[in-house]
Amino acid sequence: MRLLYSLAAYLLAPLFAAVLLWRGNRRHFSERLGTGPRVPARGIWLHAASVGEVQAAAPLVRSLRERYPTIPVIVTTLTQTGRERVQALFGDTVHSRYLPLDLPGTVRRFFDRVDPRLAVIFETELWPNLYRECGRRRVPLILASARISPRSFPRYRRMAALFRQTLSRGIVVAAQGQDDAERFRSIGADPAHIHVTGNIKFDLSVPSGTLERGRALRERHAAGRPVWIAGSTHAGEEQQVLAAHRRLSSNALLILVPRHPNRFGEVADWLVREGVRFTRRSQETVCDAGTEVLLVDSLGELLDFYAAADVAFVGGSLVPVGGHNLLEPAALGLPVLTGPNYFNSESIARLLIERGAARVVQDGELAAAVAALLADGEARSRMGARGRAAIEENRGALARLLGLIAPLLS
């Protein structure tokens, strides 16, 4: 089965490479082929696919740097924005590079240069050739905060023979929940190596100075005005958000934060066509009383802008993307709104909804939900407090994960 997979990977690799180059991913492209500078000593390799996984992995990276200061940490990503986030968070304290294509030759070159003593893969990234090379070189491998959503489970079941072969190499599965653990068992993971550790995303910490920066942003751009934010929005979603904003009777400011940098210009052009009075964060223009929208076309500032708002809508959920991180605004004490498509973090969404910290808005309901919360400070405070409490009650996955890592590094 793995041979068939590798053959298909070889056939598709030129197409994948062409797409990456077409999207402008030329810098460090050789790393996709397994090359790159050698790491000076055997280190801990962590893979976090994109921005969301990098954010989730950040507490673990910091803990590993503190506990094992002499061991290098290598963080790989699939996306350019993920790599940029690694560099913004950790600078030169970690080695950042792209994950190689999952081909036998590129994987061998990658391992020759990185030579990890431990591998940690975040969430569900199943790469048969990478996993096989870990087994061949006797590199312990942990799937951290591992999950298989109900939506994707049938696809994994159809490829069970490949995954069974991949997962049968002594891989440690640190599952988010009991349901995830059962799904990993059913596709071939060794029950003796499956542990339920929880979701490391609950162990997030709000960076020092975030609240202060949020207050400063609000004073600069929206003094005396209600503010709501639509974070990590996607194509087809900004239209619904703007329609909701225009239905508000208050003189509110909308902070609009598209998910992907390559769409910043596209969204700005669309706002011009819609006749919206807006400013762009990148131009450092201060909003005045008539500004309707502040377009955040910069990277790494989402938390600061959440801290500047009264109400947060989290994108990727009014369109079938799966939703993004609801915990970040909840950790800042904001009431959280999400569309119905939150399947990427279903357990987190269900928890916050059940606790009364988040609300689901269907198509056309966003304006009413935002208006009600902007008008009711007590409701905002209740929802915010419930969100913070839910996060505090579910912390601990990081400590449990570090408990699995420590003996593998000994």
Residue 41: CATH number of its domain: 3.40.50.11720
At 287 the pLDDT is: 97
What are the C-alpha distances in Å from 100 to residues 35, 122, 183, 368? Answer: 8, 16, 27, 47
- Tens digit of pLDDT for each residue in 89-145? 999 999 999 999 999 999 999 999 999 999 999 987 788 899 889 999 999 999 999
Q: How many CA atoms lie within 13 A of 221 on its CB side?
A: 30
Cβ pair 396, 203 in contact under 8 A: yes
CATH number for the domain including 228? 3.40.50.2000
d(CA 337, CA 361): 7
At 167 the pLDDT is: 79
Q: What is the pLDDT along the chain (410 residues), one digit of tens a residue?
A: 667 767 766 777 677 667 766 665 667 788 888 998 999 999 999 999 888 889 889 999 999 999 999 999 999 998 888 898 899 899 999 999 999 999 999 999 999 999 999 999 998 778 889 988 999 999 999 999 999 888 788 888 887 777 777 777 779 999 999 999 999 999 888 999 999 999 999 999 898 999 999 999 999 999 999 999 999 999 999 999 999 999 998 899 999 999 988 899 999 999 999 999 999 999 999 999 999 999 999 988 999 999 999 999 999 999 999 999 999 999 999 999 999 999 888 889 999 999 999 999 998 999 999 999 999 999 999 999 999 999 999 999 999 999 999 999 97
Torsion region of 170: left, alpha or beta (phi above 0 gives left; psi -120 to 50 gives alpha): left
Cβ pair 355, 389 in contact under 8 A: yes
d(CA 201, CA 398): 9
Same domain, 378 and 366: yes
* Active-site residue (options: 31, 53, 238, 292): 53
- Burial of residue 272 (CB within 10 Å: 0-12, 13-18, 19+) is exposed
Same domain, 247 and 368: yes
Of 55, 173, 59, which Cα lies nearest the Cα of 120?
Answer: 173
At 165 the pLDDT is: 75
Same domain, 351 and 404: no
At 150 the pLDDT is: 80
Same domain, 138 and 250: no
At 9 the pLDDT is: 67
Residue 55, domain extent: 2-199+395-409
Write the CB contacts of 259 (distance below 8 Å, at least 6 apart in sequence).
Answer: 232, 233, 234, 315, 316, 324
At 155 the pLDDT is: 83
**58 falls within a domain:** yes
AA identity, residue 147: R
d(CA 109, CA 286): 50
Same domain, 173 and 219: no
**32 falls within a domain:** yes
What are the C-alpha distances in Å from 66 to residues 76, 209, 405? Answer: 20, 21, 14
Which H/E stretch holds residue 174?
A: strand 172-175
| pTM of structure | 0.85
d(CA 169, CA 138): 10
**184 falls within a domain:** yes
**204 falls within a domain:** no
At 79 the pLDDT is: 86
At 180 the pLDDT is: 92
End-to-end CA distance of the chain: 34
The angle, 0 to 180 degrees and rounded to 10, between the axes of the packed helices 128-136 and 2-22 is: 120
**Phi, psi at residue 196, to the nearest 5°?**
-95, 110
Same domain, 325 and 399: no
**205 falls within a domain:** no
Write the CB contacts of 26 (distance below 8 Å, at least 6 apart in sequence).
Answer: none
Same domain, 152 and 55: yes
E strand segments, 190-331: 194-196, 227-233, 253-258, 278-280, 293-295, 311-314
Same domain, 223 and 246: yes
- Burial of residue 141 (CB within 10 Å: 0-12, 13-18, 19+) is buried
d(CA 90, CA 179): 33
Same domain, 384 and 400: no
**306 falls within a domain:** yes
Same domain, 399 and 387: no
For this structure, is 53 an active site residue? yes
The 3-state DSSP class for residue 59 equals helix
d(CA 290, CA 82): 35
Same domain, 108 and 220: no
**How many domains would you assign to the chain?**
2
Same domain, 131 and 273: no
At 7 the pLDDT is: 73
At 390 the pLDDT is: 98
Q: Which residues pair with 364 in a beta bridge?
A: none
At 157 the pLDDT is: 83
